[in-house]
Amino acid sequence: MHFDPETAFPLLERTPRLLDAWLRDLPAAWLDVDEGPGTYSPRDVVGHLIHGEEADWAPRLHHVLAHGTARPFEPFDREGFVAAYRGRPIGDLLDRFARLRAESLASFRAAAAHPGLWERRGSHPELGEVNVGQLAATWVVHDLGHLRQIARAMARAYADAVGPWRAYLTILEPPPAL
């Protein structure tokens, strides 16, 4: 499938609602479970997604529009959420994420009026030249990857409790190497 804002944006719009329905008012045991050292809990994922709205998706779109390939994006700090959001109440995080996601999507929709937006090029500090369509497609896949990560961390909380049924539960297999 090629990137198409008509199919991508509805998915990106649903992520905040999906996370809200899934995580709001759950006990902390579910929100803070992770897959071990160096991994994210569901609460951490929401904080990370907020940080992405603040420092990655729409800011990089605006950077491409202002600078093209003349100046690389600022590197994205994947752990940049920790100081601001780790341990905060999940309701506060979900509300902030929903608001920021709506603002980011509005920025992309407004920018879509620029002719050839999806082919406009920018410069990534590690990957080199990228285009806005690739940035937006990555945003979609990034959301899906973190939804999978949340499900996997939560499932692993019951890895021992399922007993012999573990043999049938592929979600309990080791996570893929990055």
Q: Strand, coil or helix: what is 113?
A: coil
- Give yes or no for a contact between 51 and 80, defined as CB atoms under 8 angstroms apart: yes
Tokens encoding 30? 């579910």
Query: DSSP label at 36?
Result: S
Does 123 map to a domain? yes
Prediction pTM value: 0.94
Domain residue limits at 15: 5-172
Does 177 map to a domain? no
Domain count, the chain: 1
Residue 19 CB: number of other CB atoms within 10 A? 24
Q: Which is it for the CA torsion 123, 128, 131, 132, positive or negative?
A: negative
Does 146 map to a domain? yes
Here the CATH number for the domain that contains residue 96 is 1.20.120.450
- Give yes or no for a contact between 136 and 11, defined as CB atoms under 8 angstroms apart: no
Does 178 map to a domain? no
pLDDT tens by residue, the chain, 178 residues: 888 999 999 999 999 999 999 999 999 999 999 999 989 999 999 999 999 999 999 999 999 999 999 999 999 998 898 888 888 999 999 999 999 999 999 999 999 988 899 999 999 999 999 999 999 999 999 999 999 999 999 999 999 999 999 999 999 987 666 5
